[in-house]
Amino acid sequence: MVPVLGFCGASQSGKTTLLCGVIAELKRRGYRVGAIKHHGKADPLPTPEPHKDSALLASAGAERVALAHAGGVFLAAGPDVAFLGPRALAERFLGDMDLVLVEGYKSADIDKIEVVAPGREPVLPKGGRLLALARQGGGKDEAGLNVLNADDPGGVADFVLKHLGLSPAAG
């Protein structure tokens, strides 16, 4: 089973920026990384555009990116798989990756890191297992959780690999 870890947080919290940095770092270390972006709005399935999050995740080095949405999954799949959770999507479409990082799915039953914007409070989503918070500059433990430095994708990558039981460099 491919290891899956989520990054969640409020809109404009820096999730995509941090996730792109972590993906680029993991790719530099030799990992094959897949990504799933959850589009939570109910409008028609968007087509990935160059400046949008899913395209940014791909340009950061994710070998495959799935854009999950109520209208379907953008990865040559239709609405019959739209309601699969991130773990099932990872297995079905990204099972040959070393790991899959997920953006969104706040309530999914997966381990996750919440990205918190400067000056904001954590949302502390229900469901899943919240492992840590990520803030610009890091900080002291908060709400009983480690606080990672969102400005240090290498340090966050180290945390991800350690939690998933993977070595610091792909081997």
pLDDT tens figures, 127-136: 668 999 999 9
DSSP per-residue letters across 11-72: TTSSHHHHHHHHHHHHHHTT--EEEEEEE---SSPPPP-TTSHHHHHHHHT-SEEEEEETTE
pTM here is 0.82
- CA–CA separation, 95 and 89 (whole Å): 9
User: Residue 4 forms beta bridges with which residues?
Assistant: 100
7: left (phi over 0), alpha (psi -120 to 50) or beta: beta
Burial per residue of 67-101, b for 16 or more beta-carbon CB atoms within 10 angstroms, e otherwise: bbbebbbbbebeeebeebbbbebbeebbeebbbbb
At 53-108, the pLDDT tens digits run: 767 777 787 766 666 666 655 554 555 666 788 898 888 888 899 999 999 888 88
Q: What pLDDT, on the 0 to 100 scale, is given for residue 128? A: 66
pLDDT confidence band for 45 (50 / 70 / 90):
very low
Q: Alpha-carbon torsion 35, 105, 158, 118, what sign? A: positive
- pLDDT at position 147 over 50: yes
